[in-house]
Amino acid sequence: MTHIITLVGDPRRAPVSPGVAEAARSALLRLGGQAGNIDWLSPGTACDMLIEGIDPAVAVAAVRAALPGQPIDVVAQRRQHRRKRLLVADMDSTIIQQECMDEIAQFVGRRAEVAAITERAMRGDMDFRQAVRERAAMFAGLDAEVLDRVCDERVSLTPGAETLVRVMRRDGALTVLVSGGFTRFTSRVAERAGFDLHHGNELEVVAGKLTGRAGEPIEGGAAKAGLLDRYRGRLGIPAERTLAVGDGANDIPMIEAAGLGVAFRGKPGVVEAADAAIDHGDLTALLYIQGFREAEIDA
């Protein structure tokens, strides 16, 4: 079966130069299979090589070994169904650069406590639902309008987020933002980034103030995977045509359910579960690994 190896870098830090690409191809040829010519998707940023007769995991390891210390992402995948028709993306620390609950906590002077719970939950060291309840309890009595201030003043999109969503939608894909966080944020972030749909949890508000309770049931990793399956069924597409991206432990179920599951700046357990890891490029890397070319992305 034919696979594709894609190299993606950040030209501002470490471009994928012709020398880098040739070093990668030479490493692949030494494995004894076939490695096709270098196909430039974006000079200096991304290139493809077809491989046959080489185990994809072995190929990725060989390329990484040939590029020691280079901040370049290496992804291997099947050539068939490379372009996806469904994108399901986590919000916090993926589509946006922040963790929303940590930012809310700044307003009640408990950022360190909340951030510690967030980190444990994202690493999978704490039950996600319990983590949501404990953090929400710390916000009791806070004016609900603070949530809008946090979103407007403290939340920023990850570089490449708008481009990723725009190009995939233009290519006919359905784009869905999912979060174990709250719809007060997912609605605004989805609009800002251009997603078709969004899903999240609810924070209870009474008389304009947070009660410290999250709406039940609290949806976590299983719900994210369920949403991927629901929209895949609605579109009538196989799992191979789906892409999921996230960074934390509650993203693992949807990453494992997707045809291409990507860990974006992911925690170690997420990287282990994912088909691909993006540690250096921005979110446009998810376009290059689908085979989009620079001219298509810039159109």
Pick the catalytic residue from 90, 102, 251, 275.
90
Pick the catalytic residue from 92, 247, 251, 275.
92
Q: List the Cα angle 191/192/196 in 5-degree steps.
A: 35
Which residue pairs, CB below 8 angstroms and at least 24 apart, start in 34-42? 35/5, 41/6, 41/288, 41/291, 41/292, 41/293, 41/294, 42/288, 42/293, 42/294, 42/297
Q: Is 125 a catalytic residue?
A: no
DSSP 91: I
Contact 249, 233 (CB under 8 A): no
Total count of residues recorded for the chain: 299
Please name the helix (run of DSSP H) or strand (run of DSSP E) that holds residue 81, with its range, or none: none
DSSP 159: T
Contact 286, 263 (CB under 8 A): no
Torsion of CA 190, 191, 194, 196, to 10 degrees: 70
Q: Is 247 a catalytic residue?
A: no
| End-to-end Cα separation, the chain, in angstroms | 32
DSSP string, 253-298: HHHHHSSEEEEES--HHHHHHSSEEESSS-TTHHHHTTT--HHHHH
Which residues does residue 197 pair with via DSSP β-bridges, in sequence order? 176
Contact 254, 246 (CB under 8 A): yes
Cα dihedral sign for 275, 58, 75, 156?
positive
94 φ/ψ sector (left φ>0, alpha ψ -120 to 50, else beta): alpha
Active site residues per annotation? 90, 92
